[in-house]
Each structure stands twice: as structure tokens, then as C-alpha cells.
Structure 1
């Protein structure tokens, strides 16, 4: 609990996963609604929304998680540098 309150542990990656699944749900609902909107154009547009929408939601989520993993790695490197040189001088 102290890590959470002290901002030592990030909760955002968990939130990003939730947003990912919500985004997929929105893409699914939008794509299916467009599929049944009528005509060949609606079918093609609905399929495009389903395919490209799902891909874009995944890419966006992975990019956000990547940023947080980079942050975690930088924190780890910083901690290792402090452990090697406790005086603070490089």
C-alpha cells in the first residue's frame, strides 16, 4: 500500500489494459452497427472498422505500456547507479 501511495508502483498499466478492452468493445459495437447499417458500403465500412479499429486500439495501448516500461527500466538503472556509487558522484 505504501508503494501505491508513494507513487513507487505505477497503476496506469493496469488502467491501460482496462481501457484496451473497453476500446475493443467500442470497436466491436461500432463495427457491427455499421455492418448492419445497410448496403455493400456499410458492410465494407463495418469490416474496415472491425479490422483497423482493433489494430489501432492494440497499437495505441502497446505504445502507452511501452512508455511505462521504459520508465520502469530507467528507474531500475537509476537505482543500480545509486547502489554502485552511494556518494552520488559519478
Structure 2
């Protein structure tokens, strides 16, 4: 419980995977909606762009948290 209140352990990386799947579902659902409204090319581009954007954004978030974890390891090593 202490880790949760004092930010010793990051919780957000666990939610990034869930957020990634929600973003993928949203991109596909939005693209399919656009396809059914009559614009097939725009719908396909929405799906493709949404999938690529979701992946890049989530990867960048994961990289930030991995940098934080590695810096924490370095700091712990220097304290000892």
C-alpha cells in the first residue's frame, strides 16, 4: 500500500496495454463506421492511421516508464 501512495511503484504501465486495445477497437469501429457511411478509402485510412497512431503512442509511453525503471535501478545501485 505504501508503494501506491508514495509513487515507489508505477501503476500506469499496466493500464497502457488496456488503453492500447481500447484505442485499436476505437480506430477499427470508427473506420468501419466511415466505410458504412459511404467512404471506403477514408474508412480504411482511418483504420490504418488509428492503428499506427495507437501503437506509436503506447510504445512511447512504455519507453518513458522503462527509462524511469532503469534510472531507478541506477539510483538504487549508487545508494548502496
Instruction: Tell me the TM-score normalised to structure 2 length.
Output: 0.91
Q: Tell me which protein shows more helix as a share of its residues.
A: 2
For residues 37-76 of structure 1, the aligned pairs below 5 Å read 37-38=37-38, 42-76=39-73
What RMSD in Å do the two structures reach over aligned CA positions?
A: 1.1
Give the aligned partner of residue 87 of structure 1.
Answer: none
Compare CA radii of gyration and give the structure with the larger one. Answer: 1
Aligned residues: 80
Give the aligned partner of residue 28 of structure 1.
Answer: 28
Instruction: Tell me the TM-score normalised to structure 1 length.
Output: 0.82
Gaps of 5+ in 1: 84-90
